[in-house]
Structure 1
């Protein structure tokens, strides 16, 4: 049974264009070699069939694919010591004298200077076979001319003046270089499409970059000349070229909200998540400038909704901080409200800090949404000490004793203090116990322990927070309760973390100064062990002994 590849070779030999078209629509190895080392493209170039050659190239045939040394080559009448090895389609076309195919192969990227094992190039082959037109095309397109080629031409192509062709090639090369240096930028800036057309026709480099690194496509987009931008794209402008600030044309379109041109850029291969300076993507720009239609387009084309730029921020961080209309679009694509930036702040915390309205925009009705570690919006609200958000959530029936995977309740979070957000807003918030008081009044369990065995008062002491501790003691928390894997009291935690204010408050309220943990360490010993000298000094001043007998 004849394979598809064998049938393809047969149809090319028969020069049956329609049959070749049909076969190429099926799964066929277009670079197949038969038992005598011939590929479909080698066969077509030997036949000199321009239409079939072009068809094969359009379907991905390798224009530099090499044939094998086989019995096929003997039939060419080449002497035994000159057996052909690894001839390419270009050498083949030159051998059989098909100038139109030589030109076609060069246009499709054929290696014009490839030489076989005997050192013969396409030009050398054309000269040996007296194929003057093929030789002229090869020379004009930059084929390497050695003394061997010049000597060969004298005998085989006496009418071919190679030196004259070389001079002409240099002249054309200089002219092309001059034309490539023509700038398209002024025409792109002014929106002069006809001038762009003429300049490109003269050979202007469509991707030439100005001193800032911007191409004509960048300039056309920056100036809102969308018809010129579309024209440049259709003419082959690089849609991923990086200009000023490493911005691609898609960055510029997103920055300016140019929704009409984005499909054109993406369809021509624009990288949707291309990164500019600081790893900024087009989506970040569109969100920053609040272009919801542009944001939707980019998301529909597959933009990464949780991609991070400088500082570990996502598009949702940006949208929340600007109270943007893009928030809902991002959430629909599963933007992570718990994604922490380099300061440990997530979009949810930002929204809470901005107040209840911003918070509700981010969480329209699902307070029970969980992060990977089981944290809920209620925990975050308690941590940020936003009383308006906390009050509304309590009124809406949130469980005040809901636990994370680590067993922390909102009360545990309230006792940690809003350290992360204070870093973001460059201010140190005053200690506040309103969130603790509100949670306690709503029924929060002040004795519940997390998986580390720590109750809220231990968390307060560890974080050096007196105001929440005062509220907990007032509500009935045990001042000498033991917690954690080492069975430590609040005084132990305060001494270990070096919080002199907490130590003084606990001592004033009657904390046991001589209590020991499971390692038999007192608060004084822990303070000394951790080099908290001010704490050591205070405890010694109130006659706490260095050692317990």
Structure 2
């Protein structure tokens, strides 16, 4: 027995039966026992007269505080000593909702055993079922449904338990809700369906379940965004591949001006690239203006800068994704493409922080001294990229292809001058590669 429980037991024993009424134990004693997760002490306090429903600090009930301990024995002790299972806290949250949020199925089960109300919603309309659907085990959700919880109850935002379950990828809970009749294509006030929540979860199986159950993959979300675009924004490549296989529009341009193949190329996800190409994505499709109107407040009131039409190969090169580059070239990508700003595949790869991508690009288009619209060579671009782990390797690739250091850009600066006036670490690496200077010290480069 904990010291607190022992002290209370001894104190209560000092008042023998028939010696008069025993003093009421202060609620603070019970609160301290709960905070210490001292079940014996809490029981002693309750049996000593502490009120199981006393209001504690911040409007908490002892039961709500016990749920925070995540000790089922503590919760059960309070329930067995008269704690009201539906006593809401100062924010209007019931013990059942709190237990669902913490996700402990045993504690939720104890509350249900003591007849906690399934219909006691939070002030915003969120039901315990919805919270449990996101955080608790699926068997808890199944039990609540069997006890009469409404599968399609919506909160103030129009979000249903299925959406809550989908948002965390709780696949088994989703299955239970669908079996109970949850609407698969219900739409929130903000324009989201359960499918969008599943995509956002990052759990591909959640997306697959809804698609297999007949979810409408053609429904548009906010900003007229497609399900495929949502998947790509969320970097849920598995979900994106599923949607592509099921006939999503692969030519559509997103709010950044990208088609799906551009996004996959930038990420270097070769599995998704293969799916997109197999389903007919244009290997040389260009970026372009979006039909989606940006909410410019999210970008400090300014729309994104215009991007010259660019094919996926250059996007892959700019992001240093050499495997993606190889896959696109194998699929027939135009290796001689030059963007409106003068960027070709070599100049694009100079931005990519990957020596392998740069070397591969030079194998496709061997001019190491090509210049873009601002007169910058690949060497200018690499030096302008600052210090990074691939800098020396990239400089060695350029040096091995006889990159010139004396070509001025449109501002009159040569690569050598840029290096001399740039960061000390970059200058040190440049001199080591191009002029035979001393090898840079690793510690200096890390600072």
Which category of TM-score, normalised to the shorter sequence, fits these structures?
Answer: 0.5 to 0.7
Q: Which residue of 2 aligns with 1:435?
A: 242
Q: Which residue of 2 aligns with 1:464?
A: 268
Selected match of 2:330 from 508, 531, 545 = 508
Q: Which residue of 2 aligns with 1:402?
A: 219
Selected match of 1:494 from 297, 316, 320 = 316
Q: Which residue of 2 aligns with 1:263?
A: 84
Q: Which residue of 2 aligns with 1:185?
A: 8
Residue correspondence of structure 1 range 115-514 to structure 2 within 5 A: 185-186=8-9, 198-200=21-23, 207-208=28-29, 213-214=33-34, 219=39, 223=43, 228=47, 231-233=49-51, 239-240=55-56, 248-252=62-66, 255=72, 256=75, 258=79, 261-263=82-84, 266=87, 271=90, 281=98, 284-285=101-102, 288=105, 289-291=107-109, 293=112, 296-297=116-117, 300=120, 302=122, 316-319=133-136, 324=141, 325-326=143-144, 328=149, 332=153, 334=155, 347-351=165-169, 353-354=171-172, 357-358=175-176, 360=178, 364-370=182-188, 372=190, 374-380=191-197, 384-386=203-205, 388-393=208-213, 396=214, 398-413=215-230, 419=236, 435-436=242-243, 438-440=245-247, 444-484=248-288, 485-486=306-307, 487-514=309-336
1:335-390 deviations in Å (ceiling 9; x for gaps): 87989xxxxx9741434655862562698123132473x44333455674437525
In 1, Cα distance between the equivalents of 2:12 and 2:339? 75
1:433-459 deviations in Å (ceiling 9; x for gaps): 86145312xxx3222223333222222
Q: CA 1:501–1:185 in structure 2 vs 1: closer, same or farther (change >3 Å)?
A: farther
1:193-228 deviations in Å (ceiling 9; x for gaps): 969985527xx7563479x754899757954997x3
In 2, Cα distance between the equivalents of 1:196 and 1:465? 79
Q: CA 1:363–1:524 in structure 2 vs 1: closer, same or farther (change >3 Å)?
A: farther
Q: CA 1:261–1:336 in structure 2 vs 1: closer, same or farther (change >3 Å)?
A: farther
In 1, Cα distance between the equivalents of 2:87 and 2:340? 64
**Conserved 8 A contact 2:250-2:259:** yes
Deviation at 1:505, TM superposition (A): 0.6
Deviation at 1:470, TM superposition (A): 2.2
Gaps of 5+ in 2: 289-305, 373-447
1:373-422 deviations in Å (ceiling 9; x for gaps): x44333455674437525434xx3x4433222244322334556865xxx
Q: CA 1:454–1:439 in structure 2 vs 1: closer, same or farther (change >3 Å)?
A: same
Q: CA 1:366–1:275 in structure 2 vs 1: closer, same or farther (change >3 Å)?
A: closer
Q: CA 1:215–1:445 in structure 2 vs 1: closer, same or farther (change >3 Å)?
A: closer
In 2, Cα distance between the equivalents of 1:435 and 1:539? 31
Q: CA 1:238–1:518 in structure 2 vs 1: closer, same or farther (change >3 Å)?
A: farther
Q: CA 1:356–1:209 in structure 2 vs 1: closer, same or farther (change >3 Å)?
A: closer
SS in 2 for 1:493: helix
In 2, Cα distance between the equivalents of 1:504 and 1:361? 46
Q: Which residue of 2 aligns with 1:49?
A: none
In 1, Cα distance between the equivalents of 2:346 and 2:164? 38
C-alpha RMSD over aligned residues: 5.3
**Conserved 8 A contact 1:239-1:248:** yes
Deviation at 1:481, TM superposition (A): 0.9
1:455-488 deviations in Å (ceiling 9; x for gaps): 2222222332222322322332211111144122
**Conserved 8 A contact 2:167-2:198:** yes
In 2, Cα distance between the equivalents of 1:390 and 1:195? 67
Q: CA 1:548–1:249 in structure 2 vs 1: closer, same or farther (change >3 Å)?
A: same
Q: CA 1:195–1:473 in structure 2 vs 1: closer, same or farther (change >3 Å)?
A: farther
**Conserved 8 A contact 1:461-1:493:** yes
**TM-score, normalising length from structure 2?**
0.54
Selected match of 1:519 from 320, 332, 341 = 341
**Conserved 8 A contact 1:207-1:215:** no
